[in-house]
Amino acid sequence: MKVPYLKRPGEIYKPCKTGVSRKKNDLKNGKEITITINRRKPGYAGEIIVAICEGNDRHFDTNWSCQDVTRFPTRIRNAATALHHEGLYGMFRISHCKGTMRIRKL
């Protein structure tokens, strides 16, 4: 499924962007990074593979099977947008559970 990047990132985006920016070299070297999202609501847990493509500023591809893009996990969408904004391209596994996000380049 193709999921659009966020046009107006919200408060979840900031810790995603900061974490990706700080750990950019770790991601490039295939290491998993962890980002904590401090929110009252834990959000949906899940693990999704995303493909961030250079030159495509509109959307990223995923292995997510739901046909309703509005149901795509917000935290994972924020992380994918942060990866794109940091110029990190390729396939990534992004998971989220109880406020903890894990990202690894595949």
Q: CA angle, corner 106, sides to 46 and 6, nearest 5?
A: 55
pLDDT, tens digit, 9 for 90 and up, residues 16-72: 999 999 999 999 999 999 999 887 777 778 999 999 999 999 999 999 988 899 899
What pLDDT is recorded for position 44?
Answer: 79
What pLDDT is recorded for position 91?
Answer: 98
Q: What is the rounded distance in angstroms from the CA atom of residue 93 to the CA atom of residue 25? A: 16
Range of the domain at 86: 2-105
Cα dihedral 88, 45, 59, 8 sign: negative
What pLDDT is recorded for position 39?
Answer: 75
Q: What is the rounded distance in angstroms from the CA atom of residue 84 to the CA atom of residue 105? A: 13
Q: By the 8 A CB rule, do 15 and 78 touch?
A: no
pLDDT over 90 at 10, yes or no: no
| Average pLDDT over every residue of 1-14 | 92
Show the tokens assigned to 16.
């995603």
Q: Global pTM?
A: 0.94
Number of structural domains the chain divides into: 1
Fill in the DSSP letter of residue 1.
Answer: -
